[in-house]
Amino acid sequence: MTAAAPVRPPLLDVHDLHAEVGGRALLRGVTLHVAPGELVGVIGPNGAGKTTLVRAVTGLLRHSAGMVRLDGVPLETQPGRERARTMAVVEQLPEAPATMLVRELVLIGRFPHLGLLGRESARDRAIAGQAMARAGCEALADRMLGTLSGGERRRAFIARALAQEPRLLLLDEPTAGLDASAQGEILQVVRTLADDGAGVLMVIHDLSLAAAWCDRLVLLHDGRVVAAGAPAEVVTAEHLARVYGPYVTLLAHPETGAPLVVPAVR
Amino acid sequence: MRARVRTLGPFAGATLLLAVVALLAVTQGTTAIPLSTALAMLLDRLPFISVAAEAPESWQRILFDVRLPRVAAAGVVGAALSYSGAAYQGVFRNPLADPFLLGVASGAALGASIAIVSPLPIDSYGFGWVPLFAFVGACIAVALVYALSRTGGLSNNATLVLAGVAISAIASGITSFMLLTGGPRTFPIFSFLFGGFNTASWPRLLMALPYFVVGAVIVLVQARALNVLQLDEEQAAHLGVDVTRTKIIVLAAASVMAAAAVAVAGVIGFVGLIVPHAVRMLSGNDYRRLLPLTAILGAAFVIAIDLVARRALAPQEVPVGIVTEILGAPFFLYLLRRGRGGSL
């Protein structure tokens, strides 16, 4: 049920987390952890509690029981700016003025590092430039957000998160609404970030992509962890039948043997 | 070097425009004072500078006791209303928010009406009870709106605006009732409702000045947080902004500025909407630049509008609030049509 303890101490340590909204229990005892250099995928059907988990872990939703530790420190004892220097979040549908330039957006990511009246220094601009390079949106620096495609926009917001210089990155559905090629490009960016040492927790709907790109997966259902561990251990016919019902089919990738999940065909 | 010019250029331009408009405004009137004479008289008043200005004694009084306080009041009120409008728009992330959104104008009007109807003496040229009551009325209205909209700790923007609409309606209703039943004694309320600077005086302006200065500094300290708030509130929270605290601080400071402006000059609409919008088109969305530029251009705008209000139908004066609507609205439409458009 639970994965083997990570070798390195976890950046994110979620223990027996409970959360409710309007009296309805949406998380009922979720335990997971993310270590540096690790890409962990959170999967599960609609309503399983994936986005609630992100909101609880980022402090937007106060949990009713359990514990969230960020780099060993309980989440609720940390001031917001300090937290933002450790953890960056990219929401599902982040907003920003359509006339804002990509480089302006990315520079806003430096906020938690600056004093209240401080101006961005040359160093801040350099860090924002590196963030755009890592997210693959350097060429878009002088474009207005309103003129970007879905994939380009996603890169811009990932760059904004990277400008925070976080050690932990939370991504809520970074590939939702993108074409197959843009999905692959975004996941390559995310994979490289983890390989370079960041801990990444990513909510993702697409089970095949999750299995192909993540180090570990956590399968949520009704606010509980149904399975956690290596992709091949989590994405199994038994788990799929239990959580998704009869409308999905499990195949194996012809070259890699990785799990491929497709909607049931009539 | 180039970047420096680009940063300071708009400020230099705006300040120059303000100086020209202000100079023009102090020279024009029933008694026109030649520009060179006015300039000499003004320079002569500065410390360590002595310029021989050949001017009759009456010009001294007209320039320094009548026109200069009026132009200064118009400038300060214009700056305060525009600045406060920019702050409101930042908090609500909506270019249509204006400083009267949460009840400042209607609360001030009710306060002023109570002072006018009450047996208190109406002294329009001194400190006066009317501005004091107007200021207190505006502050009470905004505090009520905030208290009523608080549900479960976090004030939601839509709830705030709706509470603002409701409190404004109640205050306006009571004001109208007092107008209808109060008889001729209530007529001064009209000049308050339309706004203007014909009662401007140094004491009244100096009394309001601290509120403007303190409010402006408090908002400016939050400028970086306002920049982050241009993204949605959740992203701002993820980036370490205490969203609720920032909103309360900025709205309270901006409301006090607007309340002081209304106390000095009555209700002058549209300025808080139009000036920040125009400045955004010129200089972009960085609040550290936007706020000071908005103050300078807001001052120039209202001084110019007041000049029109004094001279258009001279010797009769048109209330300034009416001029901002008749001239300001078409200018606003022009900006909307030629601007980047998409922002509304």
Q: Which residues of B196-206 are buried (b: 16+ CB within 10 A; e: fewer)?
A: bbebbbeebbe
Task: Give the residue from B187, B142, B192, B185 showing the smallest Cα distance to B167.
Answer: B142
Statement: residue B175 has pLDDT above 70: yes
Parallel, antiparallel, or unpaired: how do β-strands A168-172 and A12-21 relate?
Answer: unpaired
Contact state of B234 with A60 under an 8 Å Cβ cutoff: yes
What's the mean pLDDT in B247-258?
Answer: 91
Instruction: Spell out which residues of chain B touch residue A110, defining contact as CB-CB under 8 Å.
Output: none
What's the mean pLDDT in B55-64?
Answer: 81
Q: How confident is the model at residue A90 (pLDDT cuts 50, 70, 90)?
A: very high
Contact state of B342 with A99 under an 8 Å Cβ cutoff: yes
Instruction: Spell out which residues of chain A touch residue B95, defining contact as CB-CB under 8 Å.
Output: none
> DSSP secondary-structure letter at A260?
E
Query: Which percentage of chain B shows pLDDT scores above 90?
Result: 34
Q: How confident is the model at residue B201 (pLDDT cuts 50, 70, 90)?
A: confident
At CA A82, angle to CA A77 and CA A87, rounded to 5? 100
Tokens of B159: 């709830």
Give residue B125's pLDDT.
Answer: 45
Contact B306, B320 (CB under 8 A): yes
Q: How confident is the model at residue A69 (pLDDT cuts 50, 70, 90)?
A: very high
Name the residue in chain B with its Cα closest to that of A80. Answer: B240
Q: How confident is the model at residue B3 (pLDDT cuts 50, 70, 90)?
A: low
Instruction: Count other C-beta atoms under 10 Å from residue B240's C-beta.
Output: 20
Q: Which residues pair with A227 in a beta bridge?
A: A219
- Average per-residue pLDDT in chain A? 90
CA atoms within 13 A on the CB side of B135: 19
Parallel, antiparallel, or unpaired: how do β-strands A65-70 and A39-43 relate?
Answer: unpaired
What's the mean pLDDT in B223-228?
Answer: 93
What's the mean pLDDT in A137-158?
Answer: 94
Number of residue pairs across A and B with CB atoms under 8 Å?
Answer: 72
Give residue B126's pLDDT.
Answer: 46
**Residue partners of B244: CB distance under 8 A and separation at least 6:** B153, B154, B155
Statement: residue A6 has pLDDT above 70: no
Name the residue in chain B with its Cα closest to that of A162. Answer: B239
What's the mean pLDDT in B102-116?
Answer: 88
Of B232, B234, B239, the CB nearest to A111: B239
Phi, psi of A193 (to 5 degrees): -60, -45
Instruction: Count other C-beta atoms under 10 Å from residue B34's C-beta.
Output: 11
Q: How confident is the model at residue B334 (pLDDT cuts 50, 70, 90)?
A: confident
Q: How far is A201 from chain B (nearest CA, A)?
A: 15
What's the mean pLDDT in B133-156?
Answer: 80
Give residue A115's pLDDT.
Answer: 76
What's the mean pLDDT in A233-240?
Answer: 92
Contact state of B239 with A112 under an 8 Å Cβ cutoff: yes
Q: How far is B18 from chain A (nearest CA, A)?
A: 27
Tokens of B303: 């001084």
Task: Find which of A70, A111, A125 to mutate to test the B interface (most B CBs within 10 Å of its CB).
Answer: A111
- Average per-residue pLDDT in chain B? 85
What pLDDT digit, counting tens, does each position of A251-260 carry?
A: 888 888 888 8
**Residue partners of B192: CB distance under 8 A and separation at least 6:** B109, B112, B113, B116, B130, B134, B266, B267
Q: How confident is the model at residue B342 (pLDDT cuts 50, 70, 90)?
A: very low
What's the Cα-to-Cα distance from B289 to each of A179, B282, B339, rounded to whole Å?
A: 39, 11, 19
Contact state of B343 with A89 under an 8 Å Cβ cutoff: no
What's the mean pLDDT in B77-95?
Answer: 92
What's the mean pLDDT in A218-246?
Answer: 92
What's the mean pLDDT in A183-192?
Answer: 93
ipTM of predicted complex: 0.89
Give residue A223's pLDDT.
Answer: 93
Statement: residue A71 has pLDDT above 70: yes
Contact B114, B152 (CB under 8 A): no
Q: Report the C-alpha gap between A157 and A88 in whole angstroms.
A: 11
**Comparing A168-182, B121-135, B235-249, which segment has the lowest mean pLDDT?**
B121-135
Task: Find which of B89, B224, B245 to mutate to test the A interface (most A CBs within 10 Å of its CB).
Answer: B224
Give residue B21's pLDDT.
Answer: 94
Give residue B343's pLDDT.
Answer: 42
Residue A57 or B282, more confident? A57
**Comparing A47-56, B25-34, B84-93, which segment has the lowest mean pLDDT?**
B25-34
Contact state of B238 with A88 under an 8 Å Cβ cutoff: yes
In CATH, which superfamily holds the domain spanning B68-338?
Answer: ABC transporter involved in vitamin B12 uptake, BtuC (1.10.3470.10)
Give residue B29's pLDDT.
Answer: 80
Statement: residue A2 has pLDDT above 60: no
Tokens of B237: 């929270």
What is the residue type of A47? Answer: G
Phi, psi of B316 (to 5 degrees): -80, 145
> DSSP secondary-structure letter at A144?
B
Contact B27, B34 (CB under 8 A): yes
